[in-house]
Amino acid sequence: MNPQNFKKIKHWNITGHAHELTFSCFHGRDYLSDTRACEILQEEIEKSRSVYHFKLWAYVIMPNHVHMLILPLKKEYDIAKILSGIKGIMSKCLCTSLILILPGFCRSPSLR
């Protein structure tokens, strides 16, 4: 992928502020149209709440992306690190769980 295609988002870490996070599935594919994938995603969001110390105010799961509204609980935090951690946890878990029901799901070395 051309480096110019990557999004460059500035994240502001302001104590007491909520953050809207949006992230997409690998190559914009509709992996989240599968019921089991959504269940795994919900489980991983719940686990990540304790790992990254945030309140989950709302979330919407679409077939190829997710929206979350979170409130970090620590005074000092890095929203980019929280987002990266959530995405990493979920991609690894989904890859491991869905490789049997969605052939080719983990063809990218970055998802293994």
pLDDT in tens, 24-71: 887 788 888 888 888 888 888 888 898 899 999 999 999 999 999 999
- Spell out the domains of the chain, with CATH numbers in brackets: 16-111 (3.30.70.1290)
Give the angle 20-82-49 at the CA atoms, nearest 5°.
Answer: 85
Q: What is the pLDDT of residues 59-97, one digit of tens each?
A: 999 999 999 999 999 999 888 888 888 887 677 766 666
pLDDT at 70: 94
What is d(CA 5, CA 12) in angstroms, rounded to the nearest whole number? 22
Task: Give yes or no for residue 112 having a pLDDT over 60.
Answer: no
CB atoms within 10 A of CB 105: 21
In terms of pLDDT, which residue wins out, 68 or 9? 68
What is d(CA 37, CA 78) in angstroms, rounded to the nearest whole number? 27
What is d(CA 68, CA 45) in angstroms, rounded to the nearest whole number? 10
C-alpha Rg value of the chain to the nearest Å: 14
Do residues 31 and 49 touch, judged by C-beta distance below 8 A?
no
